[in-house]
Amino acid sequence: KQEVTQIPAALSVPEGENLVLNCSFTDSAIYNLQWFRQDPGKGLTSLLLIQSSQREQTSGRLNASLDKSSGRSTLYIAASQPGDSATYLCAAFQGAQKLVFGQGTRLTINP
């Protein structure tokens, strides 16, 4: 059974810093991995999807990597802005269909 862990649970950094959010999963036979953003009281917004054959994906200031052998994924945010403040959720596929979520990292960017 796939289990996903995100560390840290919360992170607060000053504006402009580059930062890394960590995600680990137990089943290395992972299909795909997806990163989401959730603003308070809102739904989930997909940020990046890394398919099993890929090692990383980039979108603007975001870069996500996937290392199946070590059971880890990282989300790198460059030049952080206050608008990046949100909860970031990592989700690994269990089999081809089911997404298993971590508990999230609550990120605060201080102006």
Partner 1 sequence: DAGVIQSPRHEVTEMGQEVTLRCKPISGHDYLFWYRQTMMRGLELLIYFNNNVPIDDSGMPEDRFSAKMPNASFSTLKIQPSEPRDSAVYFCASRGDNYGYTFGSGTRLTVV
User: Which positions lie near partner 1, rule CB under 8 A?
Assistant: 31-32, 34, 36, 41-46, 49, 51, 89, 91, 93, 96-104
Measured from the CB atom, is 100 or 109 closer to partner 1? 100
**Least distance to partner 1, CB of residue 22, Å:** 17
- When the beta carbons of 13 and 49 are compared against partner 1, the nearer one is 49
The one-character DSSP state at 83 is: G
Euclidean distance between CA atoms 27 and 52, whole angstroms: 13
